[in-house]
Chain A
Amino acid sequence: MSKTIKWEYSPAPEGTDRIQLKEQYDLFIGGKFVAPKSRQYFDTINPSNEKKIAQVADADQSDVNRAVASAKKAYNNVWSKMAPKERGKYIFRIARLLQERAREFSVIETLDGGKPIRESRDVDVPLSVAHFFYYAGWADKLEYAFPGRKAKPIGVAGQIIPWNFPLLMAAWKLAPALATGNTVVLKPAETTPLTAVKLAEIIQEADLPPGIVNIITGTEKTGQAIVNHADINKIAFTGSTEVGKYIMKAVAGSGKKYNLELGGKAANIIFEDAAIDQAVEGIINSIFFNQGHVCCAGSRLYVQEGIADEVISKLQKRMETLIVGDPLDKNTDIGAINSKMQLDKIKMYVNLGLDEGGSIYQSSCSLPKKGYWHAPTIFTDVSQSNRIVQEEIFGPVLAIQTFRTVDEVITKANNSPYGLSGGVWTDKGSKIFKVTKDIRAGVIWANTFNKFDPASPFGGYKESGIGSEGGIEGLSDYVNLV
């Protein structure tokens, strides 16, 4: 006679007592924290319990003007004249200071954005540090990155970043821009401004000369003011394809350069000869990492017909073990949805999937009463033309289809306006190279998924963007070659 014992995890919450947060944050312009000319502030809340954490300044046009003027002055008088190796030292210093305060930043990232502490602690913060460290070393070695050409900085970069990896995206944007000698006006996302303003404190501590980095919080209109500002020479944006297209139109004819990291709808392909259990783990990671708030998420799963039943049943079993709940708990796998707006959008797509005739499976986890939550969700019985297969949901929702041949799955994978990432699972090496070559996307994970590194370029084909971030390639978008 056997008896199933259900093991419960005891709560293991990360402490919040060691972090320093003020009630109100101003704009970081010209090396100082200054009150916004707009006199407006807005609240930033914890999406896991809807409680206000702090309020941050809402920069208007006049604040953007001040920030850009300060960046331009710092570019002309200081940063473009500084010896590259000294430039590099400042960036190294930022990396080190951030590393020292890693714990504090992880907790704030989780509080403000809702992602599990395990991810902010093990992914977001260490990768942010690594990005600064990696690009710091490039500052005085640019002649080796562009054989036969000289790399010159562009000037003032306006950088607009998203809410899914707030600190990491700030690092992705700032590190290469600074290493190549540009100055910056950076705007964090409306729902996740805190780690960016805390990063401003570190930049201050690092003694970076005033105006080289300006960090201004705000809303959509702040972003528009940056994009349209005449003294900004370059726009770097990570976010939706819709906003990316707006930016392209807005800067048309202005001579501004831009790089765009936009949406995705990655195909994750499982062949019959894959290591099934590893592939199932890979599927979990590809779609449920960071609540599915990942532009490169593997949101379209293609399973070869012969193993479809096995993979789906194992996937369902594995979904049951995912711990959804308090993001600060170290055992948590899936945290809170970033905002009410995003939760509504995810729910809209789930309803759409049902209307389109899809079969749904959700893990039977209980969701907290307060805050924004969504259970891990998969759809089967969907087809290529379904909207949940074509459009980016940006949540923990996976659309599963089957296929028979390699050619068929490549055609299906490429049948998308996006081309950011892709995944392939097989134990046959030659098949890996065939498929990774034929998928029209910028980052392909073979027998793995959602891995990131500062030395590894990241960027999309087609409507997923223009340009790359990370690696040597990440320098190109911040220089003029002469």
Chain B
Amino acid sequence: MSKRIDIQKTYKLFIDGKFPRTESGRYIKWTDSNNTTVVNICRGSRKDFRNAMVSARKASRSWACRTAYNRAQILYRIGEILEGRRDQFMAELTLQGLTKKQTASEIDQSIDRFIYYAGWADKYQQVFSHVNPVSMPYFNFTVPEATGVVAAIAPNDTSLLGMVSIIAPVIAGGNSIVILASESFPLCSITFAEVLHTSDVPAGAVNILTGYRSELIEHFSSHMDVNAILYCGDNGVDKKLVETNAALNVKHVIQFPEQNWAKDEHQSPYHILKCQETKTTWHPIGV
């Protein structure tokens, strides 16, 4: 009897709730440190990004208008599905060079992060909203509101936890996101998209691209329909480019230095606030 041949996985992009190949037809050869596994990763293009932006914009309003309770449940659901897929992530993280212990901790924390932000999805508004005591006969209140579409460059040095730590607060706050996965460790990102796909996250709310930072950062930061650009890293040239391009349409700029995302201090409702606008409403009081 002949030996069974494995079915290998094709890594594609995640745009509008679907898994297309890059329109550019280009790929990046990714090999593990032992040179035993070779994978072709999509080398995402400007056009892929623009397609993802169209889908993110389309999804943003309906995602923001979901009830907070519903968003909370969907975030919790992501945690649930991630838990069930543990083995698959174990295998990929190990392939990407983590030890067994590191792998377990990375998955644990990624799950916990979704549970943490699931809890915030229907509470941060209460903590950060105010009824303002104006000196006139008016009822006046202020609430945080999703800024819209966030374009994000995920941390490069972690495959799963970094990306999760960025996506969770952004979508908990009702934004949609287009995120460029870690260039060095891209495997988990697309597998994570499969988790999102089965967690009732609406199509377009999260879009994940793979490819070269150096090629895509210009497009991420200069696109005129992006409301906030989020950059993870320490490259001074990149940071300046992001900040300069943000001026084109007055984008919010959010930056995180390379850091150990495992620490609990990297989860916070203030991360949700970074992608929120402040809306104040006035109405007269009288008969």
One of B74-82, B193-201, B248-256 contacting the partner: B248-256
Question: Which of chain A's residues have a CB closer than 8 A to the CB of B277?
Answer: 442, 461
* Contact status A252-B135, CB under 8 Å: no
A221 CB within 8 Å of chain B: no
* Contact status A457-B243, CB under 8 Å: no
A176 CB within 8 Å of chain B: no
- CB nearest neighbor in A for B255: A255
> How many whole Å from B148's CB to the nearest CB in chain A?
8
Question: Which of chain B's residues have a CB closer than 8 A to the CB of A432?
Answer: 283
One of A74-82, A177-185, A241-249 contacting the partner: A241-249
A400 CB within 8 Å of chain B: no
One of A53-61, A91-99, A467-475 contacting the partner: A467-475
Contact of B282 among A252, A253, A262, A456 (CB under 8 A): A456
- Chain A stretch 212-243: residues in CB contact (< 8 A) with chain B: 241
> How many whole Å from B152's CB to the nearest CB in chain A?
18
Question: Which of chain A's residues have a CB closer than 8 A to the CB of B266?
Answer: none
Question: Which of chain B's residues have a CB closer than 8 A to the CB of A149?
Answer: 270
* Contact status B134-A453, CB under 8 Å: yes
- Chain B stretch 238-287: residues in CB contact (< 8 A) with chain A: 239-240, 243-244, 246-250, 252, 268-270, 277-284
The CA-CA distance from A446 to B279 in the complex, in Å, is 13
- CB nearest neighbor in A for B252: A466
> How many whole Å from B250's CB to the nearest CB in chain A?
5
Contact of B127 among A147, A453, A465 (CB under 8 A): A147
Which has the most chain A C-beta neighbours within 10 Å: B246, B248, B278, B281? B278
* Contact status A456-B246, CB under 8 Å: no
- Chain B stretch 182-238: residues in CB contact (< 8 A) with chain A: 227, 236
B142 CB within 8 Å of chain A: yes
- Chain B stretch 119-159: residues in CB contact (< 8 A) with chain A: 127, 130, 132-136, 138, 140, 142, 147-148
> How many whole Å from B213's CB to the nearest CB in chain A?
17
A139 CB within 8 Å of chain B: no
A132 CB within 8 Å of chain B: no
Q: Contacts A455-B134, A473-B142 hold; do A248 and B246 have CB atoms under 8 A apart?
A: yes
Contact of B280 among A130, A251, A442, A462 (CB under 8 A): A442
Question: Which of chain B's residues have a CB closer than 8 A to the CB of A442?
Answer: 277-280
How many chain B residues touch A (CB < 8 A): the figure is 35
Q: Contacts A248-B246, A249-B247 hold; do A448 and B127 have CB atoms under 8 A apart?
A: no
* Contact status B244-A252, CB under 8 Å: yes
* Contact status A456-B140, CB under 8 Å: yes
Question: Which of chain B's residues have a CB closer than 8 A to the CB of A130?
Answer: 135
The CA-CA distance from A108 to B83 in the complex, in Å, is 68
* Contact status A453-B243, CB under 8 Å: no
> How many whole Å from B158's CB to the nearest CB in chain A?
24
Contacts between chains A and B (CB distance < 8 A), count:
107
* Contact status B142-A456, CB under 8 Å: yes
Q: Contacts A453-B134, A457-B142, A471-B132 hold; do A248 and B278 have CB atoms under 8 A apart?
A: no
* Contact status B278-A468, CB under 8 Å: yes
Contact of A461 among B136, B147, B270 (CB under 8 A): B147
The CA-CA distance from A468 to B130 in the complex, in Å, is 14
Q: Contacts A253-B243, A455-B134, A462-B227 hold; do A248 and B282 have CB atoms under 8 A apart?
A: no
* Contact status A443-B135, CB under 8 Å: no
Question: Which of chain B's residues have a CB closer than 8 A to the CB of A318?
Answer: none
Question: Which of chain A's residues have a CB closer than 8 A to the CB of B283?
Answer: 432, 446-448
A368 CB within 8 Å of chain B: no
Q: Contacts A147-B127, A417-B249 hold; do A444 and B278 have CB atoms under 8 A apart?
A: no
- CB nearest neighbor in A for B64: A437
A269 CB within 8 Å of chain B: no
- CB nearest neighbor in A for B133: A455
Question: Which of chain B's residues have a CB closer than 8 A to the CB of A245?
Answer: 247-248, 250
- CB nearest neighbor in B for A421: B280
Q: Contacts A442-B280, A444-B281, A448-B282 hold; do A455 and B249 have CB atoms under 8 A apart?
A: no
The CA-CA distance from A171 to B249 in the complex, in Å, is 28
* Contact status A481-B270, CB under 8 Å: yes
The CA-CA distance from A244 to B132 in the complex, in Å, is 28
> How many whole Å from B74's CB to the nearest CB in chain A?
21
A451 CB within 8 Å of chain B: yes
The CA-CA distance from A463 to B277 in the complex, in Å, is 12
Question: Which of chain B's residues have a CB closer than 8 A to the CB of A251?
Answer: 243
The CA-CA distance from A114 to B228 in the complex, in Å, is 39
> How many whole Å from A461's CB to the nearest CB in chain B?
5
The CA-CA distance from A248 to B247 in the complex, in Å, is 5
> How many whole Å from A266's CB to the nearest CB in chain B?
13
Question: Which of chain A's residues have a CB closer than 8 A to the CB of B280?
Answer: 442-444, 456-458, 471
Contact of B130 among A246, A453, A471, A481 (CB under 8 A): A471
The CA-CA distance from A459 to B130 in the complex, in Å, is 15
* Contact status B250-A244, CB under 8 Å: yes
Question: Which of chain A's residues have a CB closer than 8 A to the CB of B148?
Answer: 440
> How many whole Å from B66's CB to the nearest CB in chain A?
13
* Contact status B142-A451, CB under 8 Å: no
* Contact status A447-B284, CB under 8 Å: yes
Which has the most chain A C-beta neighbours within 10 Å: B133, B134, B239? B134
* Contact status A465-B250, CB under 8 Å: yes
- Chain A stretch 130-150: residues in CB contact (< 8 A) with chain B: 130, 147-149
A445 CB within 8 Å of chain B: yes
A270 CB within 8 Å of chain B: no
> How many whole Å from B149's CB to the nearest CB in chain A?
12
A280 CB within 8 Å of chain B: no
- CB nearest neighbor in A for B224: A417
* Contact status A248-B243, CB under 8 Å: yes
A174 CB within 8 Å of chain B: no
Question: Which of chain B's residues have a CB closer than 8 A to the CB of A342?
Answer: none
The CA-CA distance from A255 to B126 in the complex, in Å, is 32
> How many whole Å from B58's CB to the nearest CB in chain A?
14
A and B contact pairs by CB, cutoff 8 A, 24 listed: A130-B135, A252-B247, A253-B243, A253-B244, A417-B249, A436-B281, A443-B280, A444-B279, A444-B280, A446-B282, A448-B284, A451-B134, A451-B282, A453-B135, A453-B136, A453-B140, A455-B134, A462-B250, A463-B250, A464-B250, A471-B130, A471-B132, A473-B142, A481-B270
Nearest 3 interchain pairs by C-beta: A253-B240, A252-B243, A248-B247
Interface, chain B (partner A; CB < 8 A): 127, 130, 132-136, 138, 140, 142, 147-148, 227, 236, 239-240, 243-244, 246-250, 252, 268-270, 277-284
Given contacts A456-B140, A456-B142, A461-B147, 20 further A-B contacts (CB under 8 A): A148-B269, A245-B250, A246-B247, A249-B247, A262-B250, A417-B249, A440-B148, A443-B282, A445-B282, A446-B281, A447-B283, A451-B138, A453-B134, A455-B132, A455-B134, A456-B134, A462-B250, A466-B252, A471-B130, A471-B280
